Amino acid sequence: MAASTTQEPVKTQQKCVAIFALLCCFAVLLVLIFSSVDIWWDDEDGITEENCSRNCRIMLVENVPEDLYLPVEFRGHLSLSVGIRTLLNQAKQSVEVVSPVWNLKAQDVENVPSRDKEGRLLFQQLLSLKSRGVKLKIASSLTNSAELKTLAADSAEVHFVNMTALTRGRLQSSFMVVDRRHFYMGSADMDWRSFSKRKELGVLVYNCSCLALDLHRVFSFYWQLHDRDYIPSIWSKRVSALYGRHEALELQLNTTSATAYVSTSPDVFCPKDRTRDIEAIHQVIQSAQSFVFISVTDYLPLVNRSFRGTTVTRYWSLIDDVIREAVVLRRVRVRLLVSFWTKTHPLTFNFLTSLKSLCLYLHNCSLEVKFFRLREQKSGVQLGLNHNKYIVTDSAFYIGSHDWVGSDFALNAGVGLVVMMRNSLADGGATILEQMKGAFQRDWTSHYAKSLLGSKEEQRKSRNWKQEDVL
């Protein structure tokens, strides 16, 4: 009797311990799962997909260096520095910035007296956000930037994304989200050169919380990679895409109806439903009816892959393919404006010549290539580099962070914006497209744009031309 009464409590005690242990395991498991899935969320300011704004304003912003003699009428676009300054002045709560470079104050000012004036002003403006009660958040893959250290010491929250560990690439995206309502996207970095001596093109989008919210999610994606050395296999819902290739956001851009979405790269940086940059580029080129104008700094369809410790270089056809198809099978007119500068890879000429030769003996086939080139100054400073990265067609545009180099798409984190107009250029009313096309035509017809030399003899000349430049 006595034995059984003492045994009963012992048994229940054991049961309790077992259940408790199980519960503990379960709790630990839950914590583990959620810590890899979710970041501890700040809310999205009460703006949701249901009540966000799609009645947006869009402006083209450009930086055209003073040394470039381009027709005056096209300088009428809002200048990049004024545009960014106005955007930051709108901020009431938060500013989120991603940039591959933080170099707003020139280190080598002797070479370029006061050319970093705009960069310095922007840096001051970022520092002054705190006094207005605006939170500044920065995601970056830079480990040793003096400017980021200054900003972090002052007020900015900086999250480090170890791209070396994640993809062996760089964080190449460049954008700015203000109050999750307005944003900037374009070729300019947080680099003083972007505001003085480099040619840049981008867009400012105002009162557009739907699209800004999606871009904010791209930012959140980087944000939660802070100090991680692996990419989680399960993602929080808060970083998945709101819109994409198959489900684009329908919106108003000024007075025009359009659809839009944000794309990203590389593949491992694309959570569920996020369209990849390369798919976005395909869609924009494939949807063109009459023309595709492309302006990029570098064009090199090669990709470096690491294989058993050695680097193997392979042909990367993903963009070449879709251009060839558009030119030959759909007879879409293609113009490619590539920069000619000290870092132009010699094979660029071969790949572009090959593309061009596609139209030999074909009627209505048009693929033209030109190099945008400026003589360097005696000081060796590269002036007027065309740093643009966009495509404009008769019905859509794409602005991205990558040059058209295979390795960039494979390794570097980038972001792109696709806007497709309901009415094409031909139907009128597509103002932003007209402006972008105008900017392209201005560059294309300027005397800085030189045709790709065709014959062997001329190609040889172009090699010399290049060597001369490098030396």
Ligand X SMILES: *[C@@H]1O[C@H](CO)[C@@H](O)[C@H](O)[C@H]1NC(C)=O
How many Å apart are CA 348 and CA 345, to the nearest integer?
6
Provide the 3-class DSSP secondary structure of residue 131. Answer: helix
Residue 313 makes contact with ligand X by CB under 6 A: yes
If you ran DSSP here, which 8-state letter would residue 422 be given? S
Residue 254 makes contact with ligand X by CB under 6 A: yes
The torsion angles phi and psi of 141, rounded to 5 degrees, stand at: -105, 10
How many Å apart are CA 318 and CA 254, to the nearest integer?
34
Of positions 64, 171, 241, 300, contacts ligand X by CB under 6 A: 300
Tokens of 121: 């002003």
Helices (H), 241-317: 277-286
Residue 233 makes contact with ligand X by CB under 6 A: no
Least spacing, CB of residue 185 vs ligand X, in Å: 15
Least spacing, CB of residue 254 vs ligand X, in Å: 4
Q: Can you spell out the DSSP letters for 230-250?
A: S--SS--GGGS-S--SSSPEE
Q: Which residue is nearest to ligand X (CB)?
A: 165
Question: Which residue, 205 or 415, is less far from ligand X as judged by CB?
Answer: 205
Least spacing, CB of residue 406 vs ligand X, in Å: 6
Contact 332, 288 (CB under 8 A): yes
Of positions 47, 323, 383, 417, contacts ligand X by CB under 6 A: 47
Tokens of 371: 């190099």
Beta strands in 18-91 (DSSP E): 55-63, 78-79
Q: With 0-12 CB in 10 A as exposed, 13-18 as middle and 19+ as buried, what is 8?
A: exposed
Question: Which residue, 108 or 227, is less far from ligand X as judged by CB?
Answer: 227
Residue 311 makes contact with ligand X by CB under 6 A: yes
Question: Which residue, 419 or 449, is less far from ligand X as judged by CB?
Answer: 419
Of positions 79, 290, 431, 459, contacts ligand X by CB under 6 A: 431
Residue 131 makes contact with ligand X by CB under 6 A: no
Of positions 432, 436, 439, 452, contacts ligand X by CB under 6 A: 432
How many Å apart are CA 283 and CA 398, to the nearest integer?
10
Nearest to 351 by CA among 387, 293, 299, 282: 299
Residue 407 makes contact with ligand X by CB under 6 A: yes
Of positions 89, 164, 306, 451, contacts ligand X by CB under 6 A: 164
Residue 162 makes contact with ligand X by CB under 6 A: yes
Tokens of 363: 């009627």
Residue 359 makes contact with ligand X by CB under 6 A: no
Of positions 12, 14, 35, 48, contacts ligand X by CB under 6 A: 48
Contact 298, 404 (CB under 8 A): yes
Question: Which residue, 122 or 161, is less far from ligand X as judged by CB?
Answer: 161
315 beta partners: 302
- Say how many residues touch ligand X, by CB under 6 A: 29
Q: With 0-12 CB in 10 A as exposed, 13-18 as middle and 19+ as buried, what is 232?
A: middle
**Piece of the chain touching ligand X by CB under 6 A; list 42-50, 124-132, 415-423, 455-463:** 42-50
Residue 317 makes contact with ligand X by CB under 6 A: no
Question: Which residue, 127 or 302, is less far from ligand X as judged by CB?
Answer: 302
**Piece of the chain touching ligand X by CB under 6 A; list 21-29, 118-126, 162-170, 280-288:** 162-170
Buried-state track 439-456, b at ≥16 Cβ within 10 A, e below 16: bbebbbeeebbeebbeee
Residue 89 makes contact with ligand X by CB under 6 A: no
Footprint on this chain of ligand X (rule: CB under 6 A): 46-48, 51, 57-59, 143, 162, 164-165, 206-207, 229, 254, 300, 302, 304, 311, 313, 331, 363-364, 405-407, 431-432, 435
